[in-house]
A = this chain, B = another copy of it.
Amino acid sequence: MQLEQIVTNLREEGFRITPQRIAIVDYVLSTEEHPSAEQIHNVIKKKYPMVSLSTVYKTLDLLRQKQLVKQIEIGGEARFDGHTDEHINLICMKCGKIEDVDEDLKEIQVRAARKSKYQIVKSSFELFGYCSACKTHS
Q: Could you tell me which A residues sit within 8 Å of B by CB distance?
A: 73-76, 78, 88, 90, 92-93, 99, 101, 103, 105, 108-109, 111-113, 115-132, 135
The 7 closest A-B pairs by CB, nearest first: A117-B132, A120-B129, A119-B135, A121-B129, A118-B129, A73-B73, A124-B126
| Identical copies of this chain, number | 2
Contact A112 B118 (CB under 8 A): no
Residues of B within 8 A of A118 (CB): 90, 92, 99, 127, 129-132, 135
Q: A117-B131, A119-B129, A124-B127 are in contact. List 20 more A-B contacts (CB 8 A).
A: A73-B73, A73-B75, A88-B112, A90-B116, A92-B118, A93-B121, A99-B116, A99-B118, A103-B108, A103-B112, A103-B115, A117-B132, A118-B130, A118-B131, A118-B132, A118-B135, A120-B128, A120-B129, A121-B128, A124-B124
